[in-house]
Amino acid sequence: MDAHKFGNFVAIARKENHMTQAELASKLQVTDKAVSRWERGLGFPDINTLEPLAEALGLSVLELMKSERIKETDMQCTDASVVLSDTIKEVGMQRLQERKQERKIIAVSIVLTMVLSLFVLLMDNVGWSVQNVLFTGLCVVLPLMSIIALIAFTIVGIARHIMGKSCKQVFVAALSFAAVILAMMLALFVIGLFAFPGQH
């Protein structure tokens, strides 16, 4: 299944049905950016979207996967089998790319955790007291890591939104890190008020 051929076919079928990209996206419950990506040949819809997309465009799923109109008499089992196997391969490639991205995120998380652990060990070797380690961990390292995570999740969320993928969970995670940062700032402010009562 060729991405550009598929995109051109979807665009033509959409225009024949007198629909804008936004109207088609609304019917499929995806973003108009996702439809734009498909039509420009930059990706394929999710496998679960193929049937609703075909229905919205007045096509059969097989026509959509083959990216051409098919007369009933022209279609043979072998053609259907080839189109289906091509689609499954393409979906497999998409899933593989998504897994690679997820592995990169996991690898970065592991590296950050290792760096943090080494930092804590170095502090211990320098001879810092438990109070200093706790203060540094809770008041410096935790907010710093939360800020890094907030920025990373925000960037990932924006990228997923641009690609027309679901980004709600990513933004919720980013907001939770923002909440941690705010809570730490508030805690430091309250501790400062009680620890140094004469210096308002």
CB within 8 Å of 95: residues ≥ 6 apart? none
Place of tokens 């033509």: 12
Q: What is the pLDDT along the chain (200 residues), one digit of tens a residue?
A: 677 888 898 899 999 999 998 899 888 888 888 888 888 888 778 777 888 888 898 888 878 877 888 776 455 555 666 666 676 677 677 777 777 887 787 778 777 777 766 666 666 566 666 666 666 667 777 777 777 877 887 888 888 777 777 777 878 888 887 887 788 778 777 777 776 665 54
DSSP class of 163: T
Tokens (6 digits) for 167? 């980004």
Tokens (6 digits) for 109? 């998380």
CB of 86 closer than 8 Å to CB of 66: no
CB of 3 closer than 8 Å to CB of 14: no
